[in-house]
């Protein structure tokens, strides 16, 4: 199984809502990532989990809260978002050991719209 | 400062021709460079990886070259098809860096029938 799945595919939320994005992989990867991507821009790294521990937080506002319940699952909890947070949110996974290819396997993304 | 540059203008080519996309970098010493394909509204899909000690890599109709002197990678698609139309991103990670690649903004390829 070489697939990363993400739910939901689309999400529309108001600025006072609380919602969660979910990501799952069964490739045995011990690194999982959240990226944010705006149109015609590269994916922008938000968080990295390595062995279920948060290893990188790229100065992301606290209205985004990541969680890694186990080695296969990654969540992104959203609260009090702003319209400028509207974007494609991508989950990815990879091996941690640099002896491997460091290839990132991306999910299909969640298109988030904040009204 | 560090930069990864890909042509922001779309590349338009005719079906059957070879598409060549460029990735230039500044102030990096990459351990490897990767190419990904991204379709609109979808996540990037890994295509090819080339390491710093490799000059060329091929996979079916795809070919990647890596010139560390010019600080450039070229990505070629031979016998291009309309289905190859997408945005192509390059990504690199530095020698001694983390295992996390940094992405360029990508170049849009449009193959006309």
pLDDT of B64-94, one tens digit each? 999 999 999 999 999 999 999 999 999 988 7
Which among B34, B42, B93 is the nearest to A109, CB-wise?
Answer: B42
| Interface contact B99-A94, CB threshold 8 A | yes
pLDDT band at A2 (very low <50, low <70, confident <90, very high): low
| Interface contact A56-B100, CB threshold 8 A | yes
| Interface contact A102-B93, CB threshold 8 A | yes
Residues of B within 8 A of A41 (CB-CB) are 105
- The mean predicted confidence, pLDDT, of chain A is 91
Tell me the average pLDDT across A48-57. 90
End-to-end CA distance of chain A: 36
| Interface contact A95-B99, CB threshold 8 A | yes
Query: Chain A: nearest CA to B3, how far in angstroms?
Result: 12
Residues of B within 8 A of A48 (CB-CB) are 100
Rounded to an integer, what distance in angstroms lies between the CA atom of residue B68 and that of residue B55? 9
Is residue B100 scored above 90 in pLDDT? Answer: no
What pLDDT shows up at residue B96?
Answer: 63
Is residue A100 scored above 60 in pLDDT? Answer: no
**B5 close contact with A: CB closer than 8 A:** no
Residue of B nearest to A55 (CA): B98
> Could you tell me which residues are beta bridge partners of residue B112?
B14
Is residue A81 scored above 70 in pLDDT? Answer: yes
3-state secondary structure of B47: strand
What pLDDT shows up at residue B95?
Answer: 65
Residues 6+ apart with CB under 8 A from A47: A33, A34, A54, A56, A57, A58, A60, A64, A66, A76
pLDDT band at A83 (very low <50, low <70, confident <90, very high): very high
Over the range A78-114, which residues count as b (16 or more CB within 10 Å of their CB) and which as e?
beebeeebbbbbbbbbbbbeeeeebbbbbbbbbebeb
pLDDT band at A55 (very low <50, low <70, confident <90, very high): confident
Query: Chain A: nearest CA to B61, how far in angstroms?
Result: 20
Residue (of B112, B113, B107) closest to B11 by Cα position: B107
Count chain A–chain B contacts defined by CB atoms under 8 A. Answer: 59
pLDDT of A4-47, one tens digit each? 999 999 999 998 889 999 999 999 999 999 999 999 899 999 99
Is residue A106 scored above 80 in pLDDT? Answer: yes
């Amino acid at each position: 199984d070489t697939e990363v799945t993400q739910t939901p595919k689309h999400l529309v939320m108001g600025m006072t809502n609380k919602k969660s994005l979910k990501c799952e992989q069964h490739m045995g990867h011990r690194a999982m990532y959240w990226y944010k991507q705006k149109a015609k821009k590269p994916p922008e790294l938000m968080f990295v989990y390595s062995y279920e521990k948060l290893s990188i937080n790229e100065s992301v506002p606290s209205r985004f809260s990541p969680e890694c319940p186990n080695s296969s699952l990654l969540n992104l909890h959203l609260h009090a978002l702003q319209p400028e947070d509207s974007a494609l949110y991508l989950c990815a996974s990879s091996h941690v050991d640099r002896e491997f290819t460091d290839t990132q396997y991306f999910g299909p993304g969640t298109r988030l719209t904040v009204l | 400062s560090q930069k990864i540059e890909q042509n922001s203008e779309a590349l338009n080519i005719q079906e059957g021709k070879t598409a060549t996309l460029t990735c230039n970098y500044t102030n990096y010493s990459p351990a490897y460079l990767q190419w990904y394909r991204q379709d609109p509204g979808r996540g990037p899909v890994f295509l090819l990886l080339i390491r710093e000690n490799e000059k060329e890599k091929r996979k079916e109709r795809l070919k990647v070259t890596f010139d560390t002197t010019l600080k450039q990678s070229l990505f070629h698609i031979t016998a291009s098809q309309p289905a190859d139309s997408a945005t192509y991103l390059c990504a690199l990670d530095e020698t001694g860096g983390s295992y996390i690649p940094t992405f360029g903004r990508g170049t849009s390829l449009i193959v006309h029938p």
